[in-house]
Structures are given as structure tokens and as C-alpha cells.
Structure 1
Amino acid sequence: MMMAMKRQMNRRGALRTLVFASVCGGACGVGPGRWFVSGVQAGETAVFRMSFDDFSQLKNSYGSVRLNVPGIPSSSSQIVVTRMPGNQFYAVSAKCTHKGVAVNAFKKGVGLRCPAHGSQFEANGKVVKSPARSSLKSYKATYNGSDAVSVEFPNLGYSVATEFVEAGAGGRVKLEFKTLSGMDYSVQVRGTVNGGESAKAQFSLSPGGTLNKTSIGGNGNTVSLYIAPTQEAGFITIMRE
């Protein structure tokens, strides 16, 4: 009896934590009303994978995109990723080293330019025109040879593997996962990955269904839940109860 209780207790807890944020509309090559969702796991480096299907600017040389990376601390969350000839990819902080204004995405013949004071940088972040005097912070960018580039953020305490999840009716996020028979599941949302208040999220079992469920029993099959986040960014945890 004691062994059975111990096994049951060990099965409880967080099944998976997800970071979510609203996608930045046409600037990221996707339409409004979609959500970006990525898994968060233990580790020391956050790896942000960018598929060219979702970031079409990176399909060709001199393509560039500026974006906020969900789950990355706000002080370094906005980056610029640029593709140069020879399949060279560069990822740098968008924060200008002069006054902290976000630089624009790369343009051929211009580079990365600060719209406030005119500082200019190469795609790799090297400063080429004052008033800025130091280079932009750079991150390792790895091309997979075909259709995606991954950007690494060291010393964050967790890793991120990304994927897009289509929004359902009303801009909902679809959560899909395999359940265990005899276990109940709920969804909690909070503003930060390691702290802050968590609240149970109401969900539906269809894209347009009423958001009136707070738990669901597992049956060994894969289930799909739909939630409607009330904030632009945060963390979703699927709980086994």
C-alpha cells in the first residue's frame, strides 16, 4: 500500500511548462491573432529556434528580422537576426550601446541603424558609426543547413525549444499532450517561470467551446485543450494532479 501511494505521488506535479507571447504581427512574417508557444526545460542555455516558414525574411541573403524572444529576460529579449551571403547568420541585441534605443533590422548599405541618434552597426554588431562606441551584444546563431536557425542565450537557467501553435477562435492557444489513465490534469498560468502567483486557467475542448473547464481526466490518449490568455506574455504549466 505504501509503495502504491509513493508511485502515485511521484506521478504528480508539473508535466510541462510553456512560455507564450503574442506574435509581433506582420513584422515577424505572420498574421495577427496567433500565439508563440515554446517548451521550457531545465538547463543552462536557452535555445531559440527560428523556422524560415515563420520568419520568411531569413530565407534570403541580407534578410533580417527584429523581434522579442518570449521567455528571455526583458533586458535582453529584443534581438536582430540577419542572414548574410554564404549562409552566415548573426544574432545581436537590438539595444543600442549609446542610449539603449532599439536599432532597426539590417538593411543592405545601411546596416543596423539606431533611429534615434544615427549610430550604425554591422550585421555582427560591430559599431561602424558613432555616437555609439561599443559593439552590440552578440549571440551564437547556428544554421541547420536547410530551413531554420537557432540562437543561444547562455546562463538563463533553462532551455527553450520552440514551435508555433495555431490560434483557434478568439485567439486561443491550443495545448496538446498525451495523458495517463487515472490522472487528472489542469492548466496554470503565471507571469514568471520561477516565481509569482499561479492561477488555474479555464479551458475548452474545442476551438470555439465555452471556457468552463479547470481539469480533465486522463484516459491514455492525446487530448487538446484551448485556453485564452488574458495577458500578452507569461508561462503555462500543465499539471498532473
Structure 2
Amino acid sequence: MSTQPIPFPAPTLATATAVSTRLRALVLDDDDIDHLRLQRICERAGLDLDITEAYTIAEMREKLDTPFDVAFIDYNLGMETGLDALKVLLGHEEQTQVIPIMLTSVTRRAIAVEAMRRGCADYLVKEELSVDNLRKSMVSAFERRMFYASIADARAFQARMRHMIQQFLTSCGPEMREILSNTLAHIRKVRAAEGGTSGDAHVTLLERGCKDLVVFLDDLMSIVEQSKLETARNIKLVNSTH
């Protein structure tokens, strides 16, 4: 039975602009049979992968200058573990967009959970590895990464907006408040001189506009302070999970 390649979205600029739509995959495993089995299941699943093999973390290091879209990492690597490899992989400047998937045994599900806490997108149990499981894992991993990327983009936009607002308040805020304060004081003097009966519509509109601007500046300050508190809470939450 023939299979058709699954059209996964390209997660990196390199794959998005390249002529080929094949995903670059790194497979780190010290067992030749496991290498072959994974590749055969990928082919049966219709995954069009350009696979690079590595058998040790040292060998993997030599291949990380090329950005990968997905990395299959075996947990059992002799004297080292997949968690060690995961740290090296995610710490490399060229692998910021890679989607790591841990391969573990059925008796090491707790390790798989720990791997996901440290940045793995998903995990596969070797004894349960099948075409369906591989497909589900790949789709789930890509969807989860896209979701996290959208959150990161939103947070980055929020940080940029907060910085711009803070710059505006620092550079223009004091001068604007002084101008508004002097204008409102002048309006009070005009009305006092006229016995408080000035009904000039232009004066009334000017007064209302000045007060609205004061409220606007106060609201901007509140947004900046609230954003700082939310950022601090998020950082504390992230640190508490590590």
C-alpha cells in the first residue's frame, strides 16, 4: 500500500524558503537497529524527512551547525542520557526552532515527562512505536510548537509596546502634565475673573480635553505597571517549575 507524504507546516525560515519541502531530521541513537526501525516507520508513515544520523552526543555536536526541524533523541546513550543531549541541542544557537522528540522505553515514562518539562515537544515509547503513534506525535509536536510560538510572539509584542509606552511617559509625560496643569489653572483663573459664569463652549471643550489627557496618561502608567507585575509573576512561575 502506497503512502502520501504528510504536509507538515515548515517551522523555520530555512525550510520555508528552500526549494525542497523536506523536513530536516536529526536522529540520535546508539543502536543501528533502532536507527533503521525508526527510518522505516517514518517512510511507512509517509514522512518526507532528510535524516542525519548521530550515535553519540559528541557526534551530534558536530552536526548542529545545520538547523534541524525535528530531532529524535534516544534516552539511553551509554554513559550519557537523552536529557544531556537535549540540553546540548536546545542550547545551540542554530537550533532555536528544532522540535525535539524523546525516544524512551516503556519503563521510563517518568523520564519522558521530565524531558518535556525541559523542552521536549513530545515523546515516543520504543516498544509502542508505530506508524499511527509516530504520525500523532509529529502532528502534536508541531501544533504545540506553533502554539508556543504564537504565545512568545504575543509576549514579545507586549514587551515592545510596554517599552514604547514607558519611553513616551519618560520623555514626554512630565512636560505634557505640566502643560495640562498650567492650562487647567489658566482656565480656572479665566472663570474666576468672570465670576465663574463663563459658558464659552471652546473653553469647556479645552478643559474637558485636558482632563481626558490626564486620565489617558494615568491609564498608560497603570498599563505599564500591570504589565511589569504580570511579567514578574510569569518569570516566578517558570522558575518554580524548574
* TM-score band, normalised by shorter chain: under 0.3
Which one has more relative contact order, counting CA pairs under 8 Å at least 6 apart? 1
Please report the TM-score for the alignment, with normalisation by the length of structure 1.
0.22
Please report the TM-score for the alignment, with normalisation by the length of structure 2.
0.22
Structure number with the higher strand fraction is: 1
- Which entry has the higher C-alpha Rg, 1 or 2? 2
Structure number with the higher helix fraction is: 2
